[in-house]
Amino acid sequence: MSAENPGAPTEPTATAEPTASTESSAAAAEPREPLRYDHLEVEPRWQRVWDEQETFRAVRDPASTRPKRYVLDMFPYPSGDGLHVGHPEGYTATDIMSRYWRMAGIDVLHPMGWDAFGLPAEQYAIRTGTHPSETTARNIGNFKRQLKMLGFSYDWSREVSTTDPRYVRWTQWIFLQLFKKGLAYQDEITVNWCPALGTVLANEEVTDGKSEHGHPVERVPLRQWMLRITAYADRLADDLKLVDWPEGTLAMQRAWIGRSEGATITFAVEGYEGDTLKVFTTRPDTLMGVTYVVLAPEHPIADWMIKTPGKVPDERREAVQRYVAATVNRSDRDRLTSAAKEKTGVDTGLVAVHPITGQKVPVWVADYVLGGYGTGAVMAVPGHDERDFAFARAHGLPIAEVVSPDGKLHGTLEAAFTDEGIAVQSGAFDGLTTAACKSAVVVTLKGLGRGDGQVSYKLRDWVFSRQRYWGEPIPIYFPVELESPDGDPRKGAPHRVLFDQPIAVDEAELPLTLPDLVDFRPGNDPAGALARAVDWRYFQKEGRWYARETNTMPQWAGSCWYYLRFIDPQNDAEIFSEAAYDAWMPVDLYIGGAEHAVLHLLYARFWHKVLHDLGRVKHPEPFTKLVHQGMILGEDGEKMSKSRGNVVNPDDIVRVWGADVLRLYEMFMGPLEAVKPWQSSQIQGVVRFRDRVYAVATRALGDTLQDDTARLLHRTVKKVTRDLEGMSFNTVISTLMIFVNHLAGLASPPREAVHKLILMVSPFAPHVGEELWRLTGHEKSLAYEPWPTWDEALCVDDVVEVPVQVNGKVRGRIILAKDATEDQARAAALESVGSTLAGKQVKKFIYVPGKIANVVVG
């Protein structure tokens, strides 16, 4: 361990192989002629040096008082397509910060791994007849090659894959903790089931009742494992104040959680023998304006009336039956999208009874109400809800005004009034403000036994089951009840699996690994592909038969906690040690795409809070600062995709121009968070910058640092450092370009200035940086070289430019000493605008030191 830098590994040198050897120090320090930069030779050489010497291995002394930074990328799914040039943008940003912080004397953990379970690998394996494990391993190899090709300073000794049994073990261990706490449970819920694909699909994967491949999708009840994320809804919302995240992401998280205060209200439905109809509303003050009630197509009352002739006229019942059949298999997303354009629905013929007035209102079925949200029914107040207003207009239903902005009636409403106001046409509640009316209505309902105040959430418990092969097995098994005590369920003996008696796999038996199936297609069995692995599924224990769970975990599972495994990836005794946690957590900088702004981040925060309650983690939030890199579009301004033919392969850019050029270009395109189109024609600008840096540093260097160069050097170091801290990478490069242009104009660039230039360039262009550091007489890698500092006195201007106004209009500019007197400013100003003053009398002179001079004339 280096005495100068206790956080660094054994000092890396550039002499690990003959091609990295230095010449004599004198020759290396003073090359007489500029050298040609050969990226095809230099870049692979330095990558080998970094690998062989483990230059970026993260080491931290438990007793160290040095600051630390845990810098994390959202780790990739290793698809068969490899990286395109949009992917490295975020990785380059984290690498720049990691390299800068190491040089600033900070211990840095910068790991990389693979989110490798999931449907794409399984589908590819099915199409090609290869096992998903083979496909995944091959894809990981290609991704890793590309990341190393780009010179990222990852600690590869900490590499993890979510498919590694050593990793799966701890994913399953976390699931068991959830199970023991009652946070993992089974439920029969309505899901999007695609028989052709043999799997459950997310709402986003269903359009017009079909999968993206055009296969019919059914909405069917299915036994699923659920995670009780709703138990953490308040904490997930409240703790957002603890993190430094983009405001848009915070807003999306809050909206997804959707905490709202309101009331649950009970309506009786005439003729219905089941439970009363309950609705939740955030506006109980509008209860007196209910003119109809709407059921989701999945609602039990709709199902009851379809199956119970005689309760309504047959034509009504048949119309509801047709409507439900046409809408129930459409995804929630599809229904909400279409409902925004067309308000469809059917009058059931049933009537509901208003809980306060006793008035009877019609009951409708409409697809803009979703069975999975709230109670699956809404009280419609068209005067004060935009969706209800549009529906009422479309179907000729009454619209009542019960909230007025000024307490007066306004006749026919032309639009829903959704703001707060004064209650009108509301009986005993007339004249109350919205807030007072809410409270009064809840008190009245509670007294009648027909409602109460309630907090509700849009957030729903997490559906955790997948009917696929390529995922983590859920470590649960169930007793098997045989018709014959001598039967063998593996051989088809009649039996029943007692799903209501789940048993946790003993933690000592983890990991529960996947069987090596030859046919891993899902099929049309909701039990999933693992149900066919009968020798794996069924087993005997103490003379009794049991059946393993055949559902697997979703891809989200492995990505929920990977940041914790990176801190102690080789630990087989526990998920991670306390010492490792104390050394590195929490994550200081997390960079990834905005597409993960809700689900991944929400699920990871949920698991982290569960581990916090178990005493395994010490911070309530895992990710302190979050940054979303902007998308890099194709040259046609569209999202890069193979189907559009606009994908740019980083291998091609690196082969022609080098990795450092790719890194510099992506950071120079604009602000990190901005969406930017790729423009190959602009690459030449950063190529020239790289080559100019190389040319300046390989010229004969001088020992004299002239005042003007010294001032520009220190101002450059200051601005580069400040902009780096603010992650304003494009302005850093612009600043360095100005400085390089200055040095290029000098006969003998000063050695001090060139050395500091190399250090500042190196986080962006590490191969060029390392090579120039070697060529300017340094044997060791610059990875842990101290970051340049600046002298504040040299950053202060002695003179300022001041605009000169005549009667308030700028007519000239003057250069003044910062401490110039008003008399000096007056003399310079009058001289500069002398021609403007011809024939005029100066009546007044106003001088704001260093800011402006104003001559008032008459």
Tens-digit pLDDT profile for residues 399-416: 999 999 999 999 899 999
Q: Quick one: residue 68, left, alpha or beta (phi over 0 = left, psi -120 to 50 = alpha)? A: beta
SS3 of residue 626 by DSSP? strand
pLDDT classification of 193: cutoffs 50, 70, 90: confident
- Side-chain half-sphere of 720: how many Cα atoms within 13 Å? 28
Mean of pLDDT over the chain: 90
**Per-residue H/E/C for 53-113:** HCCCCCCCCCCCCCCEEEEEECCCCCCCCCCCCCCHHHHHHHHHHHHHHHHCCCEEECCCE
Residue 35: the pLDDT is 62
Give the residue-averaged pLDDT of 225-233. 96
DSSP-assigned letters across all residues of 826-858? HHHHHHHTGGGGTT--EEEEEEETTTEEEEEE-
Where do we find the tokens 């000794």? 157
143-178 residue pLDDT tens? 999 999 999 999 999 999 999 999 999 999 999 999
- Residue range 496-521, pLDDT digits in tens: 999 999 999 999 999 999 999 888 88
- Reply yes or no on domain 797-857 having CATH 3.10.20.590: yes
pLDDT tens digits, 628-673: 999 999 888 888 887 788 888 999 999 999 999 999 999 999 999 9
Predicted confidence band of residue 196 (pLDDT cuts 50, 70, 90): confident
Which of 204-213, 717-726, 727-736 is least confident? 204-213
Residue 769: what pLDDT? 98
Write down the pLDDT at residue 204: 59
* CB atoms closer than 10 angstroms to residue 710: 16
Q: Report the pLDDT value the prediction gives residue 520, as an integer from 0 to 100.
A: 84
Is the confidence at residue 261, as pLDDT, over 50? yes
Rounded-to-integer distance, Cα 740 and Cα 789, Å: 18
Q: What is the β-pairing status of strands 799-806 and 852-857?
A: parallel
pLDDT of residue 595: 87
CA dihedral 405, 410, 416, 422 (to 10 degrees): 30
Residue 595's closest CA among 87, 70, 72, 81? 87
Contact 845, 856 (CB under 8 A): yes
Flag whether pLDDT at 9 surpasses 70.
no
Polymer length in residues for the chain:
858
CA torsion, ordered 66, 72, 78, 79, to nearest 10 deg = -150
Average pLDDT of the residues in 596-615: 95
pLDDT of residue 203: 67
- 384 within 8 A of 403, measured Cβ to Cβ: yes
Cis peptide before 475 (omega within 30 of 0): no
Token pair in block for residue 132: 């998903």
**pLDDT the model gives residue 30:** 42
Cross-strand pairs, 466: 552
Average pLDDT over residues 455-462: 89
User: What is the structure's pLDDT at 636?
Assistant: 86
Q: What is the pLDDT of residue 10?
A: 39
- Which DSSP state fits 433? B
- The first and second tokens of residue 11, run together, are 């000092």
For residues 753-782, give the mean pLDDT. Answer: 97
Q: Above 80 in pLDDT, residue 91?
A: yes
Q: How far apart are CA 627 and CA 631, in angstroms?
A: 13
Give the rounded percent of residues in the chain with a pLDDT score beyond 70: 94
The residue-averaged pLDDT of 673-687 equals 92
Quote the distance between the C-alpha of residue 531 and its chain's center: 34
Torsion 329-331-336-340 (CA) sign: negative
Distance CA 170, CA 7 (A): 29
pLDDT band at 335 (very low <50, low <70, confident <90, very high): confident
Please say whether the dihedral angle defined by the alpha carbons of residues 245, 251, 253 and 254, taken in this order, is positive or negative: positive
| Domain ranges (residues) in the chain | 184-227, 260-456, 797-857
Question: What integer pLDDT is reported at residue 202 of this predicted model?
Answer: 67
CA 835, CA 593: separation in Å to the nearest integer? 59
Residue 445: CB atoms within 10 A of its CB come to 21
Average pLDDT over residues 298-310: 91
Edge-to-edge order in the sheet of strand 799-806: 809-817, 799-806, 852-857, 842-848
Q: How far apart are CA 36 and CA 695, in angstroms?
A: 8
More confidently predicted of 579 and 598: 579
Q: Which residues pair with 278 in a beta bridge?
A: 266
For range 425-435, the mean pLDDT: 96
| 460 CB neighbour count, 10 Å cutoff | 14
What is the structure's pLDDT at 199?
74
Q: Is the pLDDT of residue 16 over 80?
A: no
| Angle value at C-alpha 817, between 816 and 822, nearest 5 degrees | 70
Which amino acid is residue 431, in one-letter code? G
pLDDT score of 332: 73
Q: CA nearest 20: which of 784, 785, 759, 767? A: 767
pLDDT digits (tens, 9 = 90+) for 48-68: 999 999 999 999 998 889 999
pLDDT in the model for residue 576: 97
Count Cα neighbours of 583 within 13 Å in the Cβ-side half-sphere.
20
The two beta strands, 184-194 and 199-201, are antiparallel
Reply yes or no on whether the pLDDT at 213 is more than 90: no
Report the CATH architecture of 260-456.
Alpha-Beta Complex (3.90)
Q: What is the pLDDT of residue 631?
A: 92
End-to-end CA distance of the chain: 77
**What pLDDT does residue 528 have?**
85
Q: Are 499 and 523 in contact (CB under 8 A)?
A: no
pLDDT of residue 15: 37
Distance (Å, whole) CA 527 – CA 522: 9
Please state, in angstroms and rounded to a whole number, the distance separating the CA atoms of residues 760 and 735: 11
Task: Express each pLDDT in 345-400 by its tens digit.
Answer: 999 999 999 999 999 999 999 998 988 777 899 999 999 999 999 999 999 999 99
Q: How far apart are CA 513 and CA 169, in angstroms?
A: 9
Note the pTM of the prediction, 2 decimals.
0.84
Euclidean distance between CA atoms 635 and 354, whole angstroms: 60
d(CA 802, CA 851): 6
Q: Do the annotations mark residue 343 as ligand-binding?
A: no
Q: Please tell me whether residue 378 adopts helix, strand or coil conformation.
A: strand
If one compares 789 and 832, the residue with the highest pLDDT of the two is: 789
Predicted local distance difference test score (pLDDT) of residue 23: 33
Strands (E) across 239-276 are located at 260-269
